[in-house]
Chain A
Amino acid sequence: MQDSKNLKEIKKTNITKKIIEDLEKIVGDSQWVNTDIEILMNYSMDMTEQVAPTLAEVAVMPDSTSEVSQIMKLANRFKIPVIPYAAGANVGGLTLPHEGGIIIDFKRMRRLLQIDKENKFIVVEPGFTFGDLKREFMSGGRLEGFRYSFPFAPPYTSVLTNALLNGLGSLGVKYGCANNFITGLEVVLASGEIVQIGQNAINKGKYWISREPLPDLVGIFVATQGTMGIVTKIGLHLIRQPKYTINYAILPKSADDFLRSWVHELDKLNVCDEIGCGYFPAKIAHGIIPDDDLIELMGKLAGLVRKGNWAKLLRLLGWPLLKAVTFNNPFPLIKFLASKNLLPLPEVGEDEPLMISGITITGETKNIFKAKIKAFKKFTRKQEALVIRPKEFGELAGVFNSILDLPAQLPAFYDLRGGGLTWVGSYIPHTNVADGVAKGHKILKKLGFFPVVVLRPMKQDHYFVMRFIIAFNSSDQKEIANARKAVEKVADVVLESGGTPYKMAPPIAKRIWKKADPSFYDFIAKIKDCVDPNGILNPGKLLVNGTPKNPYKLKDLTGNTGGNE
């Protein structure tokens, strides 16, 4: 529980009444500039609580790139820190105002600005969310017939920041992380200059089709956490929605075997558009991962549902189970099956991890589609894995949907440990993922957490996503400290396993730079000094040791007394 004493002391910046008035003039209305404590407190922390809270001095909501540019000119003149804030689903303290200053909140810049279905790209503003995008993909939406790589995140998450922060996505197995979808950018630099990057710079913004064949300066703004410039527009590739699509859930007999070998074999088959895996402690997975008895039961169930033999189903299951499987909520089913000992998992202790994988197969023609399914089924039979097509279970699909809605539903999975949720996401060599999971799991178990691990082969299995998710009691100061410690220790496991954490929180950035070749850090720091000589853009992030022009000594950004160096 943070109290006001924990709010870090803010270095006084140069924000005067006159500057507030100037901000109001820029955005045209005082309602879009705010200094109320209850407003500023909302920017003082995020859901992950990896970094101790800090307070901004003013928040502003611009409506256009021009307004952002004017804000930057003003801030740069008075050397006031500026922190970009897109939709609000922030992690790792990446939008916390470590040095006070101005929060630029992009909720008014939430437009889908350009759609080019022929050339398969869109242009969106920072506040545009995955929920907004999903709505456009739905029947009757402006983007019906297309798809995009959706992250493992709640829907109110910015599409732009997901791409800029190298987020993972549902199409990762084919296309890699989200920055691969970026076709061009519009950026406001610290000086207020507006820069176009990509082919959009050549054709006056008509065709945001590609970064190639030009010098790829998009990279300056990818994974640099808003420290190099403020991206106000982003061009993104759209992917055509194939004519035929089917989803399956795979329940492998051994999670370890799955990760060590056969997920790679599955990838080699080249039949899956999406492969996502969740690694749950058995006590949670109890209702999701069936043993052989349940496999048989589910087989019967599937057959009966297909035949529409409801009377037999009723006799077989009885009302309570039938009611449970037709209720769009996994918990009654899980509780019921567990209470009847229908889900014994003799080979795995309840604290041990178990796995469920979701895959998607698509096809443009029926023959290709069928051939892919045939190959997939043959493969999974060989592996003795249970394959479930959620639709066959009617509303049992709710179980799988709930998993897809993670992590928004994670606290519920954890029986409401207390509202806190944090994680370490990383990209790791696929050869090391099984050991990495085992090590991370061991550490977290020792610290009293039961992690969910999200795993996903990326870019044709070139590397893997390994993300540990930890639920904690956000009202318990000790547990917050413990969660921070856990995050740092798991980050160490990632680094030892040859991987690198993404969306790195400042304490993790420090660990990464300690391990990195110094020339890498120095080069980024020189670029930073060129594009932001006054060091006003999102200070305290990424370049946690500062730059030659703006040496910055990392303070205790975690508020943690145990685990931070």
Chain B
Amino acid sequence: MGLKDVKEWLHYCGRCNSCKYIYRVYEPSCPAFEKFKWEPYTSSGKVWIARDLFEGKYELSQSICDKVFACTLCGNCTIQCQQEIGDHALDIFEALREECIEAGYTIPAHLKFRENVEELQNPYGEKHDKRWEGIDDKYFKDSAEVYFFVGCTTSLRNKTLFSNILKLLDYLGVDFTLARDEWCCGSPLLTTGQKKSAKFLAEHNTDLIAKLGAKTVITACAGCFRTLHSQYPSKYGLLTNQNHFNANKEIVEKTKDTENEKDTKNIRVLHISQYLNEIIDKKNIKIKHPKEINVTYHDPCHLGRHVGVFEEPREVLKKLKGVHLIEMPRNRDNAWCCGAGAGVKSGFKDWALEISEDRLREAMQLQKTQDINIDYMISTCPFCERNLSDARKSLIDKGELSDSSLKVIDLVELINLVLKQK
């Protein structure tokens, strides 16, 4: 996708600036604008850059590239926008990124992703086998009801979460398998304007899913989930025959019965929070924490705003007796981004950390105004968890946060913690 594909929307931004606030809440919505202040960092500013470039008013430059890639593509601005341009803004931002890459303007760390993915099929530059180090062979089956798509961050950077997920799925008696031949989903490339380079990953993973024959694919990574669930179909025409369900488990989008994808017909791609929400009910499992604890939930952008999964993680939390969910003021589609996404953590490390610190400060302010201690900040994305944990450490080092509150853990880890204490 280049700017020509979004040209009809380029002049639709009236610069009313509504995108800068959470609608009717008047809290900031755009991390990049709050930090850098200049208009081109905002949604409307980027749309106007796209318009100017398309009209040939000036040429692309590294300076533009730096501004375009400082955005986390969190999409908060698109929610707050009161005009129809909001529905197309993310496409315009992605198109801008692709134009930058095409013209040779890049962020070095993002190019490194691509090299790593092309060579080793993961963005971290680790050897493929390292994903499965310490994982029991019993988890690799020829076929199973459920395929657990682990993702690069969980398998290569968060083995604790990885083992927690395996443990929980075992506890719940799920018939699932892993796949040794799983590759990066492509999300790091898709969000950094390198769609073309991610195509081979999408094709490979789709073939893999077809070969395994599992009818349900689950993933604990919000980025992998969005990619498999929404972007393979929309960007590459793959996995188009998914059944999409709403919170009431009604099919909201019917299967497209395409000839070339018969092996993945009627497949469901679910985030693990959705799957857990189903299975805990189905198996009538009661989970109770022995003491009362407070948690708050951080909505990952890829899971929430981008796909619309807001309630299932909260439903799971409500099923954990003794666990009290305290909502931060900016929640669900208004949630403040963790700052890690769309190549910001790799390209602008300090900046990513600052965004995450602001998210934690929001929870800290909640503690203060409600005079409570929030024990855990719950995430449903390993990448968010990682950045929020880094920010928590930074705030503790700065003396802003006590070590006894706001520990950042994944929903799965919280459940295991509750089960352990039972």
**Taking beta carbons and an 8 Å cutoff, which residues of A are in contact with B?**
1-4, 7, 31, 34, 36-39, 41-42, 46-47, 59, 61, 87-89, 105, 107-108, 131-132, 134-135, 138, 140, 154-157, 401, 405, 407-409, 411-412, 416, 418-421, 473-475
A513 to chain B: closest CB distance in Å? 29
Once the chains bind, are A156 and B21 in contact (CB under 8 Å)? Answer: yes
Known: A61-B37, A108-B37, A131-B21. A407 touches B55 (CB 8 A): no
Once the chains bind, are A416 and B37 in contact (CB under 8 Å)? Answer: no
Question: What CA separation (Å) do A140 and B27 show in the bound complex?
Answer: 13
Contact with A along B51-73 (1 / 0, CB 8 A): 01001111001011001000000
Residue B175 CB within 8 A of the other chain = no
Which residues of chain A come closer than 8 Å to B39, judged between CB atoms? 39, 42, 88
A422 to chain B: closest CB distance in Å? 10
**Chain A: CB-nearest residue to B55:** A3
Residue B18 CB within 8 A of the other chain = yes
Known: A37-B58, A419-B85. A47 touches B38 (CB 8 A): no
Which residues of chain B come closer than 8 Å to A154, judged between CB atoms? 16-18
Question: What CA separation (Å) do A132 and B328 show in the bound complex?
Answer: 19
Given contacts A36-B40, A37-B58, 13 further A-B contacts (CB under 8 A): A2-B55, A4-B58, A38-B40, A38-B64, A42-B45, A107-B37, A131-B20, A131-B21, A154-B18, A155-B21, A156-B17, A401-B24, A473-B11
Residue B147 CB within 8 A of the other chain = no
A359 to chain B: closest CB distance in Å? 21
Contact with A along B18-31 (1 / 0, CB 8 A): 10110011110000
List of 7 A-B pairs having minimum Cβ-Cβ separation, nearest first: A156-B17, A475-B11, A135-B26, A42-B39, A131-B26, A419-B12, A154-B16
Residue B176 CB within 8 A of the other chain = no
Question: What CA separation (Å) do A3 and B13 show in the bound complex?
Answer: 17
Which residues of chain A come closer than 8 Å to B256, judged between CB atoms? none
Which residues of chain A come closer than 8 Å to B10, judged between CB atoms? 475
**Chain A: CB-nearest residue to B8:** A475
Q: Which of A7, A38, A108, A421 is close to B14, meaning CB atoms less than 8 Å apart?
A: A421
Once the chains bind, are A412 and B58 in contact (CB under 8 Å)? Answer: no
Which residues of chain B come closer than 8 Å to A475, judged between CB atoms? 10-11
Known: A1-B55, A412-B84. A88 touches B11 (CB 8 A): no
Question: What CA separation (Å) do A318 and B201 show in the bound complex?
Answer: 49
Once the chains bind, are B83 and A419 in contact (CB under 8 Å)? Answer: yes
Once the chains bind, are A416 and B38 in contact (CB under 8 Å)? Answer: no
Question: What CA separation (Å) do A132 and B243 show in the bound complex?
Answer: 43
**Chain B: CB-nearest residue to A6:** B57
Residue B402 CB within 8 A of the other chain = no
Known: A36-B63, A41-B58, A108-B37. A138 touches B26 (CB 8 A): yes
Once the chains bind, are A1 and B57 in contact (CB under 8 Å)? Answer: no
Question: What CA separation (Å) do A156 and B18 show in the bound complex?
Answer: 6
Which residues of chain B come closer than 8 Å to A105, judged between CB atoms? 37-38
Which residues of chain A come closer than 8 Å to B40, judged between CB atoms? 36, 38-39, 42
**Chain B: CB-nearest residue to A90:** B15
Which residues of chain A come closer than 8 Å to B21, judged between CB atoms? 131, 155-156
Once the chains bind, are A41 and B52 in contact (CB under 8 Å)? Answer: yes
Once the chains bind, are A412 and B83 in contact (CB under 8 Å)? Answer: yes
A180 to chain B: closest CB distance in Å? 24
Q: Which of B18, B26, B63, B369 is close to A408, meaning CB atoms less than 8 Å apart?
A: B18
Once the chains bind, are A4 and B63 in contact (CB under 8 Å)? Answer: no
A423 to chain B: closest CB distance in Å? 12
Once the chains bind, are A38 and B49 in contact (CB under 8 Å)? Answer: yes
Once the chains bind, are B12 and A88 in contact (CB under 8 Å)? Answer: no
Which residues of chain B come closer than 8 Å to A408, judged between CB atoms? 16, 18, 82-83
List 16 contacting pairs A-B, 8 Å CB cutoff, sorted by A.
A3-B57, A4-B57, A41-B48, A41-B57, A42-B38, A61-B38, A88-B17, A89-B17, A107-B37, A132-B26, A134-B26, A155-B17, A409-B83, A418-B11, A420-B14, A474-B11
The listed residue with most B CB atoms (<10 A of its CB), out of A38, A135, A156, A157, is A38
Once the chains bind, are A47 and B15 in contact (CB under 8 Å)? Answer: yes
Once the chains bind, are B11 and A1 in contact (CB under 8 Å)? Answer: yes
**Chain B: CB-nearest residue to A88:** B17
Q: Which of A38, A405, A419 is close to B52, meaning CB atoms less than 8 Å apart?
A: A38
Which residues of chain A come closer than 8 Å to B85, judged between CB atoms? 419
**Chain B: CB-nearest residue to A3:** B55
Question: What CA separation (Å) do A132 and B34 show in the bound complex?
Answer: 13
Which residues of chain B come closer than 8 Å to A39, judged between CB atoms? 38-40
Once the chains bind, are A419 and B14 in contact (CB under 8 Å)? Answer: yes
Which residues of chain A come closer than 8 Å to B26, judged between CB atoms? 131-132, 134-135, 138, 155
Question: What CA separation (Å) do A31 and B40 show in the bound complex?
Answer: 14
**Chain B: CB-nearest residue to A418:** B11
A215 to chain B: closest CB distance in Å? 37
Which residues of chain B come closer than 8 Å to A34, judged between CB atoms? 38
B81 to chain A: closest CB distance in Å? 9
Which residues of chain B come closer than 8 Å to A412, judged between CB atoms? 82-84
A26 to chain B: closest CB distance in Å? 17
Once the chains bind, are B11 and A3 in contact (CB under 8 Å)? Answer: no
Which residues of chain B come closer than 8 Å to A134, judged between CB atoms? 26
Known: A87-B17, A131-B26, A420-B14. A405 touches B82 (CB 8 A): yes
Once the chains bind, are A416 and B83 in contact (CB under 8 Å)? Answer: yes
Known: A107-B37, A419-B85. A155 touches B48 (CB 8 A): no
Once the chains bind, are B369 and A3 in contact (CB under 8 Å)? Answer: no
Once the chains bind, are B16 and A47 in contact (CB under 8 Å)? Answer: yes
Which residues of chain B come closer than 8 Å to A31, judged between CB atoms? 36
